[in-house]
């Protein structure tokens, strides 16, 4: 039996350190019982493993094993590295399907650890609350949050918040470390202190009121509430201050709901609202936008109308389908994942986004709530028709040379016809409009493709944009409709 040795890793989740160490241990035939895994400066009874002379050969592990290692490394159990070493050693020794044997005690224990880490990530995504913490030296708003994760999940969880809140600076402080976002870069630092995060901010009163307004007294279930929102997180959640009062009043509110006579739902009459808008005849794009801002969304739930963005007289205007989740929150078109992909494609095609006009056929975000997520729903033909008046006048004020329809909904809004994109793709007659037309896919279509197909589809999209730019640069023929 080889001499016992100590493998010293960084505190927390040292995935790379573990990978390098376990490759060398398996290559050298070192048994798991002969290894002490130590984090940081913790003492050990055995001598430390000397620095490696070179990289150990890579291990060809089954996918199920490779997927199990990263979340288990994030677990706080001090035995996690030793357990994983035992798993990898058995697999390398010939038990290739070990990770699929759920009844094996080692596999069962590691699966429970992975499940605990996944649950901790879900809780952090759901129960972390940012509070306003002043401004940066450049004048940008800054927010901070305190969270106490059960496991070493900060590095795994932080990119979720960078994608969810990309437009302001924030810091997440935990007892193990900190994460900081400056609008462009995510970096990690030393542990923080709870007192470095403000106790309250002005937004919380409104958020607590919203939470109270959505509380359904008829479905009050304290056991289920505690299971979904454990009390250990309550001190970081402003809305929990309202829960005791809401629970006390639940019975009385249910009684009032039962006594109240049923009311027929109020039917929306978009045509009437549209007639009122048309009668206003705005004289400028600003006046048109004022009408849009003041109008009620066709579908409830949208935060605000998302208006077009870009200069009047832009050579090219891009028309998408409708705002998404990020667009609805920020009030700007094409700032979510599809918008970032569009921006990248525009750069490759040589089109300046700042000199183009970007808008949508539908001006409000239509979605379906699934838990805490807002899932995009495709607008109906009737909803597209409701917004067509706005789109027509918007483009009349912008007066572009070329309008690029991104996807089938944009084509329907511009032409009143439902046409398959595969058949209409390329230069297109948009129905006697005073500008040329071009049809291509919506960038969100590319995001839905499997990885192996996305590269070619993206290259085709960029090629479409280059063709559109060349068409927009051509002089408008004198016979073009005016």
Examine the domain organization and report whether 285 and 424 are in the same domain.
yes
Examine the domain organization and report whether 302 and 437 are in the same domain.
yes
11-38: pLDDT as tens digits? 999 999 999 999 999 988 999 999 999 9
Please say if the pLDDT value at position 129 is more than 50: yes
Examine the domain organization and report whether 294 and 435 are in the same domain.
yes
Q: Return the pLDDT at 84.
A: 96
Question: Is residue 344 included in any domain, yes or no?
Answer: yes
Please say if the pLDDT value at position 416 is more than 50: yes
The pLDDT-based confidence of 238 (bands split at 50, 70, 90) is confident
Question: Is residue 274 included in any domain, yes or no?
Answer: no
142-166: pLDDT as tens digits? 899 999 999 999 999 999 999 988 8
Q: Which domain holds residue 114?
A: 5-123
Please say if the pLDDT value at position 230 is more than 90: no
Q: Return the pLDDT at 220.
A: 73
Q: Return the pLDDT at 241.
A: 72
Examine the domain organization and report whether 413 and 335 are in the same domain.
yes
Please say if the pLDDT value at position 272 is more than 70: no
The pLDDT-based confidence of 375 (bands split at 50, 70, 90) is confident
Please say if the pLDDT value at position 202 is more than 80: no
Q: What is the mean pLDDT of residues 374-387?
A: 88
Cα separations in angstroms, 381 against 361, 386, 393, 419: 11, 9, 19, 13
Name residue 374's beta-bridge partners: 369
43-80: pLDDT as tens digits? 766 666 665 556 778 888 999 999 999 999 999 999 99
Examine the domain organization and report whether 221 and 77 are in the same domain.
no
The pLDDT-based confidence of 460 (bands split at 50, 70, 90) is very high
Q: Return the pLDDT at 62.
A: 92
Question: Is residue 364 included in any domain, yes or no?
Answer: yes
pTM: 0.51
The pLDDT-based confidence of 429 (bands split at 50, 70, 90) is confident
Report which of residues 88 and 263 the model is more confident about. Answer: 88
- Please count the structural domains in the chain: 4
Examine the domain organization and report whether 40 and 119 are in the same domain.
yes
d(CA 380, CA 398): 26
Please say if the pLDDT value at position 243 is more than 80: no
- Looking at 196, 218, 246, the residue that finishes a domain is 196
Please say if the pLDDT value at position 128 is more than 50: yes
Within the chain, what is the greatest distance between any pair of CA atoms? 91
Question: Is residue 372 included in any domain, yes or no?
Answer: yes
Examine the domain organization and report whether 98 and 31 are in the same domain.
yes
Examine the domain organization and report whether 118 and 140 are in the same domain.
no
d(CA 157, CA 373): 16
Please say if the pLDDT value at position 214 is more than 80: no
CATH number, position 410: 3.40.470.10
Question: Is residue 67 included in any domain, yes or no?
Answer: yes
d(CA 16, CA 71): 13
Q: What is the mean pLDDT of residues 78-94?
A: 94
Strands 169-173 and 178-181: antiparallel
Best CA proximity match to 35, nearest among 65, 80, 66: 80
Question: Is residue 159 included in any domain, yes or no?
Answer: yes
The pLDDT-based confidence of 480 (bands split at 50, 70, 90) is very low
Examine the domain organization and report whether 444 and 321 are in the same domain.
yes
Determine what percent of the chain is predicted with pLDDT higher than 70: 85
Is-contact 442 321, C-beta < 8 A?
yes
Please say if the pLDDT value at position 464 is more than 70: yes
Q: What is the mean pLDDT of residues 166-180?
A: 93
What is the average pLDDT score of the chain? 85
Name residue 359's beta-bridge partners: 319
Q: Return the pLDDT at 481.
A: 35
d(CA 128, CA 229): 12
Q: Return the pLDDT at 223.
A: 75
Best CA proximity match to 362, nearest among 439, 402, 308: 308
The pLDDT-based confidence of 376 (bands split at 50, 70, 90) is confident
- Looking at 196, 214, 236, the residue that finishes a domain is 196
Examine the domain organization and report whether 310 and 421 are in the same domain.
yes
- Looking at 196, 217, 238, the residue that finishes a domain is 196
Residue with tokens 């639940």: 250
Cα separations in angstroms, 277 against 282, 413, 475: 9, 18, 35
Please say if the pLDDT value at position 309 is more than 60: yes
Examine the domain organization and report whether 189 and 227 are in the same domain.
no
316-346: pLDDT as tens digits? 999 999 999 999 999 999 999 999 999 999 9
Examine the domain organization and report whether 162 and 219 are in the same domain.
no
Q: Return the pLDDT at 46.
A: 64
């Amino acid at each position: 039996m080889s001499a016992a040795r100590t493998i010293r890793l960084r505190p927390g989740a040292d995935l790379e350190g573990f990978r390098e160490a376990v490759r060398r241990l398996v290559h050298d035939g070192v048994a798991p019982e002969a290894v002490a895994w130590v984090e940081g400066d913790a003492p050990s009874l055995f001598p430390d493993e000397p620095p490696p002379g070179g990289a150990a050969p890579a291990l060809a592990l089954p996918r199920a094993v490779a997927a199990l290692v990263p979340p288990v490394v994030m677990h706080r159990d001090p035995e996690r590295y030793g357990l994983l070493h035992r798993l990898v050693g058995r697999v390398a020794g010939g038990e290739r399907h070990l990770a699929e044997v759920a009844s094996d005690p080692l596999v069962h224990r590691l699966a429970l650890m992975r499940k605990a880490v996944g649950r901790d990530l879900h809780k952090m995504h759901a129960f972390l609350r940012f509070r306003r913490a002043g401004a940066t030296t450049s004048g940008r708003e800054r927010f901070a949050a305190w969270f106490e994760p059960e496991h070493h999940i900060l590095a795994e969880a932080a990119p979720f918040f960078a994608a969810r809140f990309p437009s302001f600076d924030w810091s997440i402080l935990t007892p193990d470390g900190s994460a900081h976002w400056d609008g462009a870069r995510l970096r990690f630092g030393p542990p923080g202190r709870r007192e470095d995060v403000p106790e309250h901010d002005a937004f919380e009163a409104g958020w607590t009121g919203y939470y109270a307004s959505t509380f359904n007294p008829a479905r009050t279930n304290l056991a289920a509430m505690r299971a979904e929102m454990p009390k250990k997180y309550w001190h970081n959640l402003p809305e929990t201050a309202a829960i005791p009062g809401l629970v006390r009043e639940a019975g009385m509110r249910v009684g009032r709901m039962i006594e109240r006579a049923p009311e027929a739902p109020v039917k929306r009459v978009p045509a009437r609202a549209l007639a009122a808008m048309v009668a206003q005849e705005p004289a400028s794009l600003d006046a048109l936008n004022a009408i849009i801002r003041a109008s009620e969304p066709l579908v409830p739930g949208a935060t605000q109308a998302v208006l077009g963005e870009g200069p009047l007289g832009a050579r090219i205007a891009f028309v998408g389908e409708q705002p998404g989740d990020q667009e609805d929150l920020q009030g700007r078109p094409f700032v979510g994942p599809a918008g970032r992909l569009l921006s990248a494609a525009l750069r490759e095609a040589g089109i300046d986004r700042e000199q183009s006009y970007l808008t949508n056929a539908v001006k409000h975000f239509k979605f379906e709530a699934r838990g805490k997520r807002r899932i995009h729903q495709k607008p109906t033909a009737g909803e597209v028709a409701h917004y067509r008046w706005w789109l027509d006048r918007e483009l009349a004020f912008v007066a572009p040379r070329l309008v690029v329809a991104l996807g089938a909904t944009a084509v329907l809004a511009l032409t009143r016809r439902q046409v398959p994109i595969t058949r209409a793709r390329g230069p297109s007659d948009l129905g006697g409009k005073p500008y040329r037309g071009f049809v291509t896919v919506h960038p969100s279509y590319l995001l839905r493709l499997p990885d192996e197909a996305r590269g070619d589809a993206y290259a085709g999209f960029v090629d479409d944009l280059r063709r559109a730019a060349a068409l927009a640069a051509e002089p408008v023929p004198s016979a073009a409709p005016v």
